[in-house]
């Protein structure tokens, strides 16, 4: 096999590996749950909730240091309250509970560090 043939074969293998990684990355961003009873960070990275009542968001199970989860909570029908479990650590300025006005969406960014989950950011649609 000539040098040129070896380079071409290597380029094909690299392209196949890049496509495989791209597909895996695309799948990661689509792992969604609507459960509020349990959140498994090994199987989801997006939690999409429609709140028909007030909830306490449980601390996720699983995950490794650096794992992140995005929570989107829509207040359906009336104003709703989302409370973070007391087991979360929260960055300065982040409250334990948020009142979400009807038809507004709260977004919270969660990150695992060691054995703890941290609420890093919270925002609400206007």
How do residues 12-35 score in pLDDT, each as one tens digit?
A: 888 787 766 656 555 555 455 555
Q: Is the model's pTM score more than 0.75?
A: no
Do residues 74 and 103 make contact, with C-beta atoms less than 8 angstroms apart?
Answer: yes
Number of neighbouring beta carbons within 10 Å of residue 71 = 21
State percent of the chain over pLDDT 70: 86
Q: Mind listing the pLDDT tens digit for each residue in 98-109? A: 999 999 999 999
Strand (E) or helix (H) holding 11: helix 3-28
């Amino acid at each position: 096999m000539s040098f040129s043939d070896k380079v071409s074969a290597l380029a094909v293998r690299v392209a196949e590996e890049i496509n495989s990684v791209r597909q895996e990355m695309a799948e990661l961003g689509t792992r969604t749950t609507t459960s509020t009873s349990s959140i498994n960070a090994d199987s989801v990275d997006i939690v999409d909730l429609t709140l028909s009542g007030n909830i306490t968001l449980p601390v996720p199970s699983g995950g490794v240091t650096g794992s992140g989860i995005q929570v989107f909570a829509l207040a359906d029908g009336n104003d709703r309250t989302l409370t973070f479990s007391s087991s979360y650590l929260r960055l300065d300025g982040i409250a334990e509970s948020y009142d979400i006005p009807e038809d507004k969406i709260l977004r919270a960014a969660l990150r695992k560090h060691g054995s703890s989950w941290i609420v890093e950011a919270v925002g609400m649609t206007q």
